[in-house]
Structure 1
């Protein structure tokens, strides 16, 4: 995780208020397996995943259901997209 930065928990409805920036380290490859599992958990069991991502305002964290996964984006409810390159952490 990024050094010396406090992660702020936000509601999924607030995500679009922030401008995404790439994380210090691109963890896309490392997260793909976890994101695939998170998608299955969301679709089959309505389970939430904690996603931490980097914005211009610092790291933000949201607990939500992962609906879909593309080559470059994580898709949440209502078509909200999070660039995979901005992800810092994925946990469930």
Structure 2
């Protein structure tokens, strides 16, 4: 399956679905690091997540984390259960 790179402004156009494997706990430390990179160094994180239209990838700054969501600029939310991969 091909992953499509999208802009963060396009995220809300897609409907999230859970990834095949819920890796929320596995990604916890990477998400904490991504949050620090975004807040302290304005560094971007690449995240791949699952949507009804297949996997999408975005490169953006993580602004905040909740128990179930990654919060991006303009209060854009990505459900953690939809995450496939994180890199920075």
Q: Same fold (TM over 0.5)?
A: yes
Partner of 1:14: 10
> Superposition RMSD on alpha carbons, in Å?
0.2
Aligned length: 88
Q: Deviations over 1:17-63 (max 9, x none)?
A: 00000000000000010000000000000000000000000000000
1:81 aligns with 2:77: yes
TM-score (normalised: structure 2): 0.99
Structure 1, gaps ≥5 residues long: none
| DSSP-derived class of the 1:66 partner | coil
Equivalent position of 2:41 in the other structure: 45
Structure 2 unaligned spans of 5+: none
Q: Is 1:65–2:61 an aligned residue pair?
A: yes
Task: Provide the TM-score with structure 1 as the length reference.
Answer: 0.95
Instruction: Provide runs of 4+ in structure 1 moved above 2 Å.
Output: none
